[in-house]
A and B are shown apart, each in its own frame.
Chain A
Amino acid sequence: MDNSAPDSLSRSETAVTYDSPYPLYAMAFSSLRSSSGHRIAVGSFLEDYNNRIDILSFDSDSMTVKPLPNLSFEHPYPPTKLMFSPPSLRRPSSGDLLASSGDFLRLWEINEDSSTVEPISVLNNSKTSEFCAPLTSFDWNDVEPKRLGTCSIDTTCTIWDIEKSVVETQLIAHDKEVHDIAWGEARVFASVSADGSVRIFDLRDKEHSTIIYESPQPDTPLLRLAWNKQDLRYMATILMDSNKVVILDIRSPTMPVAELERHQASVNAIAWAPQSCKHICSGGDDTQALIWELPTVAGPNGIDPMSVYSAGSEINQLQWSSSQPDWIGIAFANKMQLLRV
C-alpha cells in the first residue's frame, strides 16, 4: 500500500490515455508534427462493415491526447494495419498520407490545416476479380517511400507503386495465409505466415526466397514480424498462442539467437526501439508490456525483461514511435495509451 500511492502519482505523469467509443486494434504514429502536436491514427475493431479511423493529436509537453473530430472518417471493415507516410516521402502538398489495409489497400490524405480527410485511392491486387484478397498487414518502405508491400490471406505478397497506384509485382510468398511483412532494405523484405515460416525476398531475384526460420511445431502460425532497422541482422517474430518472442539472426537460419519467455500469456505485438539496436518491446494477453534489452551472451536462466508496464486489459497493439522515441503506444480494449519509456 505504501508503494501504490507513488506509483499512481508517477503513472499519471508518465502515461496518457485516450478512451475510444469502440474497441481499438490498429494504430500508427505520424512522423510529421502539426501545429497542435503529433498525430496518432487509431482504427476501430468492430466485427462488422462499419468501422472508423480517428486522428488524435498528442502534445507531450502538456501530456494530453485530444481527438480531432473533423479528421474522423468511416472505414469499411476494421483496418488490419495503419501507417503514416515515412518522412522520406516528399510531397508537394502539406498533407500527411495515411495507408490502411483490410478489404483493400486504401490511401488517405490527412490535411489538418483544412480539417479534411480525402480518400486518394483504393488499390486492388486481384487481376481476375473486382475484390481484393483481404490484406492482413503491410509495411511502407522508408528507403524507397513510393514502394509499399502488402500481405494477404491468399498466400501472396504484393508490392505497390503508390505514386502510380499500380501493382509493381506480386509473389506467391507462402503456402498459407501471410500474416505480416516487413522491409529491410529498398528491395528486400521478409514475411511470416500461417505455414510457420519466416522468408526473405529480394525483388532483384523474384524466383527465390530464403527461409530463415520455421516454427518448431509444424504449422504453428507466425503472427508478427519486426525487422531491427538499427541492426538489419536481427528480426523478431511471435508464434500464435505462444508466450515466446523469437529473436532471429538472418546469418544463421533456422536457429533463433534468443527466445524471450517472460510473458504469462500469448504475445500479440512486438516493436524494436527506433533508435537502439538492442531494445525491443512486446505486449500480450497477460496485459503486460515488456521492454527487453538483448545481451551479447544469453545466460543459462534465460533473459529477463528490463522493465514492465501493466495495462488494464489484453494488449492487442504496440507501436514504438520513431519520431518520438521516448514514447510507446499500446492499444487494449477501447483504450489507447501512450507510455513514456
Chain B
Amino acid sequence: MDNFFLGLSCQEENNFWDLIVADISGDRSVSVPIRSAFRSYMKDTELRMMSPKISSSKVNVKKRMVNLLRKNWEEKKNTVAPEKERSRRHMLKERTRREKQKQSYLALHSLLPFATKNDKNSIVEKAVDEIAKLQRLKKELVRRIKVIEEKSAKDGHDEMSETKVRVNLKEPLSGLDSMLEALHYLKSMGTKLKTVHANFSPQEFSATMTIETQIRGEEVEKRVERRLQETEWKLLFLPEASFYKDY
C-alpha cells in the first residue's frame, strides 16, 4: 500500500501551498486586495454568526437529475413491454401456423398411395406425381367421351334425304324375283320408296329406284347389290324359293 504514496510530489506541492497560505495571511495582516476569490474562513465565520442560516426549499439538483433519468427510463421500458407482448403473440401465431401446416401435410398424405413416405419432401413430390397422373387420366377420359359422343351423334341422325339406287344384274335367272327381293330389302332397311324404273330381258336386269333414306345412298346401293347376289345363289340351288313359283 505504500506504493500509493507520492512523497516527493506531495512535498513539492506543500511548498506551493505554503506560498498560497502566506499570501492569504499577508492579505489579512496588510489589508491589501487578495489574489484569490476566496476569503479566509475566519472572517466568514464572523459574518455567518450575524446572518441568518440559509435554507432552501428547492429539491437538490442531483436528486432531480436521478429522478429525471429514472422517469425517462421507466417510460422507455413501458414502451418496450408492448414489444415483448407483441413478440409473445408472434410466437403463438407461429405455433398455430406450424400446427395447421402439419395437419395439411397429414391430410395430403392420406390421399396419396399407401407406400408414400411421411416426410414433407416426399409428400410434396408424390403429390406432384399423383396430380400429373390424374391429369393424364382426365385427358384420356375426355378423349373417350368425345369418341363416344361422335359415334352417338352419327347413329342418331334422323334426317332423311332423297337418293337414287341403281342395281344391275347380267343374265338373271329370274328378273322378277330380283326385283321383288330388292323391294323387300329396301323396305327392311327403313327406306321409303318413291319411284321405280326397271328393264327386264334375258340378258340383263336393271332397275333405278328413287328412295328416301337416312343411310347414305352408296351404302344402300351396296347392300342391295349384295342381296341380289345372294338371291341369285338361292335361285340357282333352291328353285323352289322363287316368288314366281307361287304365282
Contacts and interface: CB of A to CB of B under 8 A. Distances in A.
Interface of A: 6-7, 9-11, 13-15, 25, 45, 47, 77-78, 80, 102-103, 129, 131, 133-136, 153, 177, 179, 223, 230-233, 240-241, 250-251, 262, 264-266, 268, 273, 275-279, 285-291, 293, 304-310, 314, 316, 339-341
B34 to A, nearest CB: 6
B56 A134 contact: no
Given A47-B64, A153-B69, A153-B73, A276 B36 contact: no
A47 B68 contact: yes
Contacts of A232: 4, 6
A134 B41 contact: no
Interface in B68-105: 68-70, 72-73, 76-77, 80
Given A230-B9, A309-B38, A340-B37, A314 B17 contact: no
Listed from nearest, the 4 A-B pairs whose CB atoms lie closest are A134-B69, A307-B38, A339-B37, A232-B4
A278 B17 CA distance: 9
A340 B6 contact: no
Given A287-B54, A307-B38, A179 B66 contact: yes
Nearest to B42: A304
A262 B42 CA distance: 12
Contacts of A306: 21, 24, 38, 40-41
B58 interface: yes
Nearest to B11: A277
A316 B54 CA distance: 16
Interface of B: 1, 4-6, 9-10, 13-14, 16-17, 20-21, 24, 31, 33-42, 44-45, 48, 53-56, 58, 60-66, 68-70, 72-73, 76-77, 80
Nearest to A131: B76
A136 B66 contact: yes
B10 A277 contact: yes
Given A14-B37, A78-B65, A251 B1 contact: yes
Nearest to B56: A285
A131 B73 CA distance: 8
B54 A153 contact: no
B54 A268 contact: no
Contact of B70 (A134, A288, A290): A134
Contact of B66 (A10, A77, A153, A262): A153
Contacts of B6: 230-232, 277
Given A179-B66, A233-B5, A15 B56 contact: no
Contact of B60 (A14, A278, A285): A285
A339 B38 CA distance: 8
B54 A264 contact: yes
17 contacts: A15-B37, A45-B61, A102-B69, A136-B66, A153-B66, A231-B10, A233-B4, A233-B5, A265-B54, A265-B55, A276-B14, A285-B56, A286-B54, A289-B38, A307-B41, A340-B35, A341-B38
Nearest to A24: B61
Given A102-B69, A265-B55, A341-B38, A279 B17 contact: yes
Contacts of B40: 306-308
A291 B34 CA distance: 16
B69 A314 contact: no
B25 to A, nearest CB: 11
A13 B63 CA distance: 34
A266 B53 contact: no
Given A25-B61, A240-B63, A13 B33 contact: yes
Nearest to A15: B37
B69 A276 contact: no
Contacts of B68: 47, 77-78
Contact of B72 (A13, A103, A250, A293): A103
A309 B39 contact: yes
A7 B60 contact: no
A90 to B, nearest CB: 23
Nearest to B69: A134
A278 B73 CA distance: 40
Contact of B37 (A276, A286, A309): A309
Contacts of B64: 47
Nearest to A76: B72
A266 B60 contact: yes
A245 to B, nearest CB: 14
A276 B18 CA distance: 11
A181 B6 CA distance: 23
A236 to B, nearest CB: 15
B66 A177 contact: yes
A171 to B, nearest CB: 19
A289 B6 CA distance: 27
A220 to B, nearest CB: 13
A103 B17 CA distance: 40
B89 to A, nearest CB: 19
Contacts of B41: 262, 290, 304-308
A230 B41 CA distance: 25
A231 B13 CA distance: 12
Indicate the member of A10, A264, A314 with the most B CB atoms within 10 Å. Answer: A10
Contacts of B65: 25, 45, 78, 80, 136
Contacts of A286: 54
A133 B35 CA distance: 45
